[in-house]
Amino acid sequence: MKRCPTCNSTFDEEHLSYCTTDGTVLVRDEVSASFELRETALLNEPSTTEVIRPPRPTEYVAPAPNAPAPPSPYGWANESPPTWVQPPPPVPFGGVTRPAQQSTAVASLIFGLISITFGWICGGPIFGVLAVILGAVALTQIKRNPQKNSGKPMALVGLITGGIALLIHLAIIALSIVMMIIGAVSK
């Protein structure tokens, strides 16, 4: 802190050298100077670190005669030599199990969907008959050997869609025959 000797004004700005009121050279205030010195006084050197003695070993009580042996204390990973541990015996392998065959059921499903969707264009009754036959064959194979054959839902869907398409086509063929007979009789 600086003070003007003429007007006794005090200034906190360190960069000022002259009084802003009358232009007199500023002097350091003795009270504030001693305070500033006290603020920046150096502290004593820190004390050296004390050396701590290792702890005393723990006294153990003798174990009971039937008590299990106490566990060994933990150590570093590389303190003891590595020991070989025998791997577990291999699991007996029963052979390769193949997934259940479902190709007949898939074929029945495909032919049934073709007969219902594209069968109206051409070949609908043929695809319907194939779907019904393959669906029935797949269901009998699944019933005989369920471990070897699977796909019952696909076989059922193929059988049903092929049957519906076949019935609709037969109804259309029967209706067209009846219409041809009526047309021939009416002439």
pLDDT, one tens digit per residue, over 134-155 is: 999 999 999 998 888 888 999 9
C-alpha distances in Å from residue 85, one per residue of 78, 82, 162, 179: 17, 9, 63, 89
Check whether 55 has a pLDDT greater than 90.
no
Cα angle for residues 146, 148, 153 (degrees, 5° grid): 55
Asked if residues 161 and 184 have their Cβ atoms less than 8 Å apart, the reply is no
Q: What's 19's DSSP letter? A: -
The percentage of the chain sitting over the pLDDT mark of 70, rounded to a whole number, equals 77
Q: Of 33-42, 72-81, 85-94, 141-150, which has the strongest mean pLDDT? A: 141-150
| 130 CB-near residues (< 8 Å, 6+ apart) | 107, 108, 111, 115, 162
Q: Of 114, 123, 121, whose CA–CA distance to 158 is shortest? A: 114
C-alpha distances in Å from residue 133, one per residue of 93, 102, 136: 39, 15, 5
Give the orientation angle of helix 152-185 with respect to helix 124-144, to 10 degrees.
150
- Beta-bridge mates of residue 2: 11, 28
pLDDT, one tens digit per residue, over 152-172 is: 999 999 999 999 999 998 899
Tokens (6 digits) for 75:
């150590």
Q: Of 160, 159, 142, 161, whose CA–CA distance to 150 is shortest? A: 142
Check whether 115 has a pLDDT greater than 60.
yes
Q: Which pLDDT does position 43 carry in this prediction?
A: 63
Q: Which pLDDT does position 132 carry in this prediction?
A: 94
Q: How confident is the model at residue 39 (pLDDT cuts 50, 70, 90)?
A: low
Q: How confident is the model at residue 96 (pLDDT cuts 50, 70, 90)?
A: low
Q: Which pLDDT does position 157 carry in this prediction?
A: 94
CB atoms within 10 A of CB 4: 20
